[in-house]
Amino acid sequence: MRVRLMHPAGESDPAPAPGAGKDLERDLGLEALLSAMAAGDDFVLDVARATLLARPPSPEVIAHRQQVLADCLADRDVVHILYELAGQAVSAERRSPRGMTTQSAEPLLHRSMRVLELLLGHLRRLRDAVDPAPASFRSPGLRDLADTVAAELDDDFFTAAGTHLQELRFRHGMLLSASLASGGYGTGYVLRHRPAAGWTARLHRGSASRTVWLGPDDEAARQAQYELTTIGIRRIAVVLAQSVDHVVSFFAALRRELAFYVGCVNLHDRLTAIGSAVCFPQPGASGSDVRSYQGLYDPVLVLGTGRPAIPNDLSAEGRPLVVVTGANEGGKSTFLRSLGVAQLMMQAGMFVPARAMRAPVATGVFTHFRREEDATMTRGKLDEELARMARLVDGMAPGALLLSNESFASTNEREGAALGEGIVGGLLDSGVSVCLVTHLFELADVLRRGRDGEGIFLRTERRPDGSRTYRLLPGDPEPTSSGRDLFDRIIGAVGR
């Protein structure tokens, strides 16, 4: 019985993706996103973080998850019921700690029986919740769960399990088979199934027997009986304990996978409540080059302000380079973050903050953002930037996505442009997609002239009066950034 909500074949958790780490989380502002998904549940928070930052799966797996998520959005109640159920099953097992019981047979057996009794109750509730399958279960993932539960947790199973729990109390004694070791000691004890009552009589009649009576005060008797029963239950104690472990790990997997969807539903509700659009994107194979967005926005900003944000469009077919220039505070960084967050969300199998989106799955998402503390812009900061970039490049493979925000601003424009051109060119030619925000005119210009066919150039929109619209439109880099506007606005004609 495998839980296949996150992957059609029920694979175990993958490793973190290249580029994942504290820097990426901070640069994209993921904490706010994850909190919205968690809605106070720390377990959901951890699962959400791990999933968003995991090695990305194939487009087929992404589609599988989208279908499950669609079902969850259609019927939240079932999802919450199952999630709660799984959580209770896991807690029930934890409340009976293994502790010292794992060191001898009898305590281990009794602990396993107690826990199994509780877990059978939860398994019954699980079956009742998904059998018959709710009408909302359309996705292969959830249909598979319902089918598996109906097939495996049938009446025969519960009957058999219940019988075992009764038999293992050994109310009618214990039946052991044994062989002879040297000197006549018993060895190779195997617990045997005591046949039903009617059989016992037939057993008595059929074969001869001898009875050794055990006196109540007989020390030898007590000792022999104790040893026999302890040896007799050794193997069954281990078998039952392992069975309990298997059931627990099933519920743990169910809880983990449902937690992700619970988080997605929470986030969906928050965003739509604020009036922001979401959609299921179309993921392309890694390396394919169709990238287009309609109505893309930064969900972190929306969650922070509680108001819808100005969306943007981008169409970059066959163009792995996007360069954004223009006025300060014009929405460039926000745009870059929205690209990164949307990429991670798509790869996790979620909806994305847009009306429509098509993008290839990236082998890794990397951020190289200007550090806020770099106010002094001394030479030493350039070393830090380059070292950081080198570390990122170590983890990159063809198909990666690099989001660069004001890289190499810590040096003069000429040097920054030279460094940037070399690095961006090298990455592009190695099959890495680059989205670059910069106010270094020289860099944007040289890319415009040298990489024209590979790049999309966007500029922040400015109204005639100088105010910003926070929209990005196609446009060539302009030599001046709009510090002019700010100057005019603040200083104006004073002192002229």
Partner 1 sequence: MPGAADVRNALPADAVEDLFLNRILSGVEQQRVDDLDAAPSRRLPPLLRTPAEVRSRQDLLRDLEAPQVRAAVDAFLDRMRNARAAARNARRTEHPLPGRLWRVEAAARSTRAVLTLRRALAAAGPESARLRMVCEYLDRLARSTAFADLAEDVATLGRALQELVYLLDVRRDRIRVTRDTGAADYGAEVTATFARFAHGDPDDYWLGNVSTTGMNAVTAAVLDAVAELHPEIFRAVDAFVARHHEPTDATLAEFERDVAFPLEYLAFIEPLRAAGLPFCYPEVDAESGAIRVLDAFDLALAAQLAGTQEHVVCNDLELSPAERIVVVTGPNKGGKTTYARAIGQLHVLAALGLPVPGRCARLPLIDRVFTLFERGETGGDLTGKLADGLTRLRAVFDAATPRSLVVLNEVLTSTALRDAQALGGEVLDRLAGVGCLCVCVTFIDDLASRPSVASVACEVDPADPGRRTHRLHRGPPGGMAYAHALAARYGLTYADLRGRMDGARAADASGR
Q: Which of residues 91-120 bind partner 1 (CB under 8 A)?
A: 102-105, 108
Two structure tokens written together for 202: 């037939």
Select from 175-183, 265-273, 310-318, 331-339 the region that touches partner 1 (CB under 8 A): 175-183
* C-alpha–C-alpha distance, residues 237 and 234, integer Å: 5
Q: Which is nearer to partner 1, 157 or 441 (CB)?
A: 157
Determine which residue in the list 175, 279, 356, 386 makes contact with partner 1, applying CB under 8 A: 175
Query: Smallest distance from the beta carbon of 147 to partner 1, in angstroms?
Result: 13
CB neighbourhood size of 466 (10 A): 13
Two structure tokens written together for 158: 């519960």
Query: Smallest distance from the beta carbon of 249 to partner 1, in angstroms?
Result: 8
CB neighbourhood size of 252 (10 A): 16
* C-alpha–C-alpha distance, residues 406 and 437, integer Å: 6
Alpha-carbon dihedral sign for residues 464, 467, 473, 478: positive
| Residue 412 binding partner 1, by CB under 8 A | no
Determine which residue in the list 11, 31, 128, 218 makes contact with partner 1, applying CB under 8 A: 218
Q: Which is nearer to partner 1, 90 or 446 (CB)?
A: 90
One-letter amino acid identity for 246?
H
* C-alpha–C-alpha distance, residues 204 and 474, integer Å: 94
For residues 360 and 289, the answer to whether their CB atoms sit within 8 Å is yes
Determine which residue in the list 15, 40, 209, 449 makes contact with partner 1, applying CB under 8 A: 209
DSSP, residue by residue, 274-319: TT---B--EEE-TT----EEEEE--HHHHHHHSS----EEEE-TT-
One-letter amino acid identity for 457?
F
- Count of chain residues binding partner 1 (CB under 8 A): 71
Select from 127-135, 152-160, 293-301, 303-311 the region that touches partner 1 (CB under 8 A): 152-160
Query: Smallest distance from the beta carbon of 116 to partner 1, in angstroms?
Result: 9
Query: Smallest distance from the beta carbon of 167 to partner 1, in angstroms?
Result: 7
For residues 57 and 64, the answer to whether their CB atoms sit within 8 Å is no
Q: What residues from 247 to 306 belong to the interface with partner 1 (CB under 8 A)?
A: 247, 249-250
Query: Smallest distance from the beta carbon of 84 to partner 1, in angstroms?
Result: 20
| Residue 89 binding partner 1, by CB under 8 A | no
Query: Which residue, 445, 458, 222, is CA-closest to 338?
Result: 458
Determine which residue in the list 16, 140, 186, 395 makes contact with partner 1, applying CB under 8 A: 186
Determine how β-strand 401-405 pairs with β-strand 282-284.
unpaired
Largest separation between any pair of C-alpha atoms in the chain: 122
| Residue 208 binding partner 1, by CB under 8 A | yes
Q: What residues from 188 to 207 belong to the interface with partner 1 (CB under 8 A)?
A: 190-195, 203, 206-207
| Residue 164 binding partner 1, by CB under 8 A | yes
Select from 186-194, 281-289, 338-346, 457-465 the region that touches partner 1 (CB under 8 A): 186-194
CB neighbourhood size of 315 (10 A): 13
